Structure formats: structure tokens, C-alpha cells
Structure 1
Amino acid sequence: MNKEDILDKYFKEEKIGKVKLFAHLNINSKKGQILFVGSSLMEQFPVNEIQQKYNLGKIIYNRGIGGFTIPEMLDAIEEQIFELEPAVIFLNIGTNDISAPEWSKAKFEEDYGKLLRLIKERLPKTRVFLMKYYPVNEEVAESMPGDGYIKAVRNRIERMDTANNVVRDLALNYGYRYIDVNAGIMNENGQVKKELSKDGIHMWPEAYEIIFENMKSYILE
């Protein structure tokens, strides 16, 4: 087994472990609360720390899993979403799909639409906010070792507008809200500010502070 296969096996096992952990955490969760769910950009949202600062009187669960694609979320939808029976969902999933070499708009729309259809069927009264994708930073990605980050960033830059338009249209079709909470994290070129970016894709907690401030009005609805 080569190094790439070993890493792939490790990350698959890590994802499986997180899904299993959520299943146990969900047993004692309080139903009808707020759910942040998606891939690594949601997993790394420091919800607990930020909640303590803002003291909004809300319970927010984070069920993001790094590296997840939409098909993977579909496989883990019970643990990530349905077992919590959330009253409100903030969804940010699909960036890993956009980054993949084999990405296609048609498959992306099909998978995202299937996810929303299941949510609508199982949680018809739940309010769902579909988040516009966060911007990336090409310069920071170029400084990272290897070519994985820069390839992913360039794919996202090329496909982001198309993907966001798909998500916006799906939100309209399913009666959900498409929200842009990126104000304040972008530079003059529309990319995430260099000082807020860890690797060109992921962001430091300071970026999430700004994003959460932008989300407050939706959280308090």
C-alpha cells in the first residue's frame, strides 16, 4: 500500500469514527434546536466558544465532518441531521464536491437536490438556511506544501459562481433561504482576506467571529 492509499484509508476511518461519535452524542441531545452541518468549513466553526461570547440563549449543535461530500452526507444523514430533529438548520456542504476533478454541475445539482428533498420529507417544519460558499485565497494556497490546496482552490474559484447559483435556485425550489454571510471576510479581489485564511481554504476563528455576527439575525428569527 502506497502513501496515498494509506492516507486515504486513514481519512475514511476518521470520517467513520466521527459519524459513530455523533450517533452517541445524539442520544442525549435536546431536540428542536439549531444545527450547523456540513464539511470541514462547518466542523471548524467554533460554535461553543462564540456562543459563550454572544450569550444568545440558543443551543447550537455542530455536526460538520471534514472532507465530507454531499453523497457522504446522504449516507450519514441520520447521524448528522435527523437524529437531532432540529428546528433550524444552517447547511454548508458541497465544497469538496466542487474541488473534485470529476465535478459536474448536473451531478452536483442532483446530489444537493436529493439532500434537500430528504430534509423536506423528514423535517417539513424545519427552517433551513443554505449558506453561500465562503471565498478562498489563492496566494495562501500557493504557499502551502504540495499542490493539493492550490488545485482545490483553483477548482473552487472556477466553479464557485455556478455552484452558488445552483444552491440559490434549489433554495427557492424547496422554500428554503439562501444566505450570504461573507461580508467582512473578503478582500478587494473577492477572496478571503489573507490574514483570515489558514491554508487558502480553511479559516481562522477570527473569520468565524465575523461570519457569526452576520448570521445572528437569522439565528434569532
Structure 2
Amino acid sequence: MKNFNKLIIACMLSLFGLTNLHSQDWADLNQFKEENSKLPAVQENEDRILFMGNSITIGWLNNRPEFFKDKPYINRGISGQTTPQMLVRFRQDVIDLKPKVVVLLAGTNDIAGNTGPSTLEMIMNNIKGMSEMAKANDIKVILSSTLPAYDYPWKPGLEPAGKIIALNKMIKEYTELNGHIYLDYFSAMVDERNGLPKKYARDEVHPTVAGYKVMEPLVEAAIVKALDQ
């Protein structure tokens, strides 16, 4: 009976979201904690580049590890993340690692509502916040366009294509006004539906190797430009 009562109490607490509140890690601050602690200090002539983002960013490392091999590239993508989560972990996963350049790719999960409803203005405010933090710490900023998406397989029917176009316009205008670099993946990958074709992403959201091969020369050109600023 005692164990049954404990089970009932645990279920009730879980129902109201009251279990283990202090152990929750909403922004995944522990995801890279150990890797960050083991990362060597930046060398004097090292052009460390930090890739910050979601599943598209970490999927790059998983699917195309050779692109990152023997380069001063650090990948800090976390699957499913939205811009408020990235903003929370931006200091520990970007600034404290002292890169010369940060490449930010974000926004699609916000539009999908992964952490709740989000307006384009809310997304931009988070992107601006990360950009301002980077700039204040002498880190060059590359803001990537959000990749095309006609629909989200995990949340169909949201019709994200138009929102992505509008968000990318906002990102581009912000980079032009603030001296950052706009990295336009969208134009190189979009199809006639304003979506991501299956040749670049089987689920039309997450790039395949072919998709990443389109992105790689674009990001490398942006990195060269940022380092030359």
C-alpha cells in the first residue's frame, strides 16, 4: 500500500509538471559541458569557428565528419532547439570557447513551435541577442538563412514556407544594418514550392550529404569574408 501511494503521488506530481524541477535542463546546458571543459585553449594563430544551431547543424557533423576534420571548426548544434534555448546557452557554448567567428543557423524549430508559439519578431529578438553578445566579445557574426521547408513531418500543416521567407528577409536586413554577414543557403537550395527538395533532404527538412555539399562552399566563403573583415 505504501508503494502504491508513492506511485499515485508521483503520477500526480508528474501530471502537474512538479517532479524534479531543479534537475530539468530546458536549454541543454549539460549537452556540451564535458566537451567544453576538455577543449584546448585557443592558440595564438588559430581561426576557431563555432557552428551554433539545431539538428541541421549537428547533423552536418554526423553526416559529413570529413568537412570538420583537421579544421578549427567546433560544432555546437542540438537537435530540436529553438532560438530562446540557444540564447540561454550562447555564453557557455560560444563566447566562453573564444572563437573568431560564429556561424548561427536557427529559426525553423521556432516556426514549428517546438518550445511553444513564437512570432517572427520573437525569433529575431533572440537572434539579435546572440549577435550582440558575440559582437561585444569581438566575435564575427555570420547569420545563416533558415533553410527552405514546405512542411514539417513532425508537425504537418503549419505552412512554414512563407514565414521562412519573411524571417530570412528580416535576418538579411539586420546583417546589412549591423555589419554582419548574411549566409544565403535558401536561394541555393529552394525548389518551386519554396520547399527543400528531396535531393537535398529526404524528409524535406534535414539535409542529406548532397544538401550539405551545397552548403559547404557557401559557408566557407562566408568564413573567409568574416575573417578578412
What TM-score, normalized by structure 1, do the two folds share?
0.76
Q: 1:69 to 1:26 in 2, by over 3 A?
A: farther
- RMSD, aligned CA: 3.0
Q: Tell me the residue number matched to 1:77.
A: 90
Give the counterpart of 2:67 among 46, 50, 62: 50
CA contact (8 A) 1:149 1:199 kept: no
How many residue pairs get aligned? The number is: 202
- Note the alpha carbon deviations across 1:90-147, whole angstroms, 9 max, x for none: 1112222222162213322322222211111122xx3211111111244xx5xx5xxx
Q: Report the residue type matching 2:137 in the other structure.
A: R
- Note the alpha carbon deviations across 1:17-36, whole angstroms, 9 max, x for none: 41323432435565641111
Q: Report the residue type matching 2:109 in the other structure.
A: N
* Percentage identity across paired residues of the two chains: 20
Shift of 1:12: 5.2
- Counterpart secondary structure, 2:160: helix
Give the counterpart of 2:99 among 77, 83, 86: 86
Task: Specify the structure having the higher radius of gyration (Cα).
Answer: 2
Q: 1:79 to 1:192 in 2, by over 3 A?
A: same
The within-5 A match list for 1:99-138 is 99-100=112-113, 102-123=117-138, 126-138=139-151
Give the counterpart of 1:174 among 170, 178, 181: 178
- Note the alpha carbon deviations across 1:38-88, whole angstroms, 9 max, x for none: 111111113532245xxxx74211111112222211211122201221112
Q: Report the residue type matching 1:150 in the other structure.
A: P
- Note the alpha carbon deviations across 1:151-186, whole angstroms, 9 max, x for none: 4xx352231122112211221232101121345533
Query: Greater RCO between the two (CA within 8 Å, min separation 6)?
Result: 1
Q: Distance in 1 between matches of 2:201 and 2:129?
A: 31
**Comparing both structures, which one devotes a greater share of its residues to helix?**
1
Q: Tell me the residue number matched to 2:3.
A: none
Q: Distance in 1 between matches of 2:131 and 2:212?
A: 25
Q: Report the residue type matching 2:106 in the other structure.
A: I
- Counterpart secondary structure, 2:32: helix
CA contact (8 A) 2:50 2:75 kept: yes
Q: 1:108 to 1:219 in 2, by over 3 A?
A: closer
Q: Report the residue type matching 1:160 in the other structure.
A: I
CA contact (8 A) 1:22 1:63 kept: no
Q: 1:97 to 1:25 in 2, by over 3 A?
A: farther
Structure 2: give runs of 5+ residues left out of the alignment: 1-10
